[in-house]
Amino acid sequence: MKVVIVGGVAGGATAAARIRRLDERAEIVVFERSGYVSYANCGLPYYIGGVIGSPDALTLQTPESFFTRFRVDMRVRHEVTALHPGKKTVCVKNLDTGETFEESYDKLILSPGAKPTRPRLPGMDVPRLFTLRTVEDTFQIKEYIQKNRPRSAILAGGGFIGLELAENLRELGMEVTIVQRPRQLMNPFDPDMAAFIHSEVRRHGIKLALGRTVEGFEERNGGVDVLLKDERPLHADMVVLAIGVTPDTALAGDAGLKLGVKGSIVVNDRMETSVPDIYAVGDAVQVKHYVTGEDAVISLAGPANKQGRIAADNVCGGDSRYLGSQGSSVIKVFDLTAASTGINETNAKKAGLATDKVILSPMDHAGYYPGGRVMTMKVVFERGTYRLLGAQIIGYQGVDKRIDVLAAAIHAGLKATQLKDLDLAYAPPYSSAKDPVNMAGFMVDNIAEGVLKQWHLEDASSLPRDGSVTLLDVRTVGEYSRGHMEGFQNIPVDELRERLEELEPGKPAYLICQSGLRSYIACRILAGYGFEAYNFSGGFRFYDAVINDRRLIERATACGMDQ
């Protein structure tokens, strides 16, 4: 059996190694357009910033090491220019010599990945305008910085690569601005959770120009002007375009393979395309979202590697199935860690799902053990069924641990109420006897049992301030004096029982505290005395962070200034 693989990075390299482990006699040929195989895309910004010191650390394998270990013919700087499914051949061009030839196959695996999205804008050929996708891109940016010592950079786009590169350029001492059309960074997060990411990058001196439309680029004064719609240009010594990636599927389309969302290659759960004996994996393929069941393109390294293994199994006569992509991800943002899994509240509503959520601010480990830090968790579930839909966590420690537990729970089909039943490891340096994931489950279970009634940030502006409802802040007098919601009176929770006469019976009560815990206790006190009480989800800490972020964005938009 002869297998040809187009693309030798995550999915392609994984498939090649797996085929060899399953079939010692298979002939395996991999064509990779760049000069490198099996490299770590996610590590590229950290090499530019000097966190990863050696360029050799970016490549997990070389063509030589791959051949030595697996006897796979890895041909770098070879671009596949056409597919001929009818005669089972591919056309290949050696980019070093210009030679072209045809290569036959019995099975073909396409792993072309994705390419940086390059909109049709004026000035896309400006020399100081870069993209970051390959090792070669990385070396080009690194060399430019070392030779020219730029003092400022603009990143067009605030996704994973944009945010990671912004941090690394800032650590090099550069003035960094992120500009993009969406009014938030990191779309896997809801806008309220993204507020914590915004705060962290601002705290480290990065400017945010959100809600701006880039209309082109111009060279000026030895740098680049980023032209904005209806606003003055932004200027920097260099610009990196990081507005996303597009499936690199021109070859597949020209060969008649069925294409789907964003031009991605349509595959079944065996990673088979619409053409017999041709498989496709990685960032170029359309998958089913594990939570919604909808068609999606999810460009992440984990799914690409799994798909490569599955395609290899099936090429070798097996019957492996890909169950869908859940979108689990994590990113370092200076001192913060931000992670998500499943779908966020915004996308759940777009999908027509009836959603509910709990927002909590637990410590990453036992409060009495030194060094504990608060994290912010948002768990989204389906109203009525309590099906887990997704989760987002932002904090300093223990975030990755909790998001992985929640990702596993979603994959296993657990209901949000069942999070309370998980038997999770506890020792004071690592967790609490009631782990944050358990706490989320307790909260959802209380909602299911009618013990907890909530109100949310989106309800704040519509709450009547005419005295028809009771608005109560149960924090201490000192906390209240440092900031509170308009119209809320202050009765500390520990004084509530003795001051019940200050509240009018029969009126619904809307409560808030710093994190949501004390106000929940107050709600239970009031319920015991016949009040209908609602607890604010997230607490004043959450409210204050989100509202301050919105004000900064709105002020910057109104003034035409960077934040």
Is position 42 annotated as part of the catalytic site?
A: yes
Running DSSP on this structure, what letter comes out for residue 456?
-
**Which of helix, strand or coil describes residue 561?**
coil
Distance CA 212, CA 177 (A): 12
Running DSSP on this structure, what letter comes out for residue 237?
S
Taken as a whole, the chain contains a residue count of 563
How far is it between the farthest Cα atoms of the chain? 90
The C-alpha angle 360, 363, 369, rounded to 5 degrees, equals 160
For 385-452, the three-class secondary structure string (H helix, E strand, C coil) is CCEEEEEEEEECCCHHHHHHHHHHHHHCCCEHHHHHHCCCCCCCCCCCCCCHHHHHHHHHHHHHCCCC
For 9-72, the three-class secondary structure string (H helix, E strand, C coil) is CHHHHHHHHHHHHHCCCCEEEEEECCCCCCECHHHHHHHHCCCCCCHHHHECCCHHHHHHHHCC
Main-chain phi, psi angles of 341, to 5 degrees: -155, 155
Q: Find all residues with CB under 8 Å of 399, minimum gap 6, and list them.
A: 330, 337, 338, 339, 364, 375, 393
Cβ 333 vs Cβ 197: under 8 Å? yes
Question: Per the residue annotation, which of 42, 91, 316, 523 is the catalytic one?
Answer: 42
Torsion from C-alpha of 15, 17, 21, 24, nearest 10 degrees: 100
Token pair listed for 66: 């791959």
**Sequence letter at residue 180:** Q
Burial class (CB in 10 A: 0-12, 13-18, 19+), 1: middle
Cβ 167 vs Cβ 334: under 8 Å? yes
Running DSSP on this structure, what letter comes out for residue 501?
G
Distance CA 36, CA 279 (A): 22
**Which of helix, strand or coil describes residue 170?**
helix
The C-alpha angle 405, 407, 411, rounded to 5 degrees, equals 115
The C-alpha angle 101, 311, 6, rounded to 5 degrees, equals 25
Element (H, E) at 284: none
Distance CA 448, CA 427 (A): 30
Distance CA 269, CA 288 (A): 9
Distance CA 208, CA 354 (A): 33
State the pairing for strand pair 238-241/231-236: unpaired
Catalytic positions, written as ranges: 42
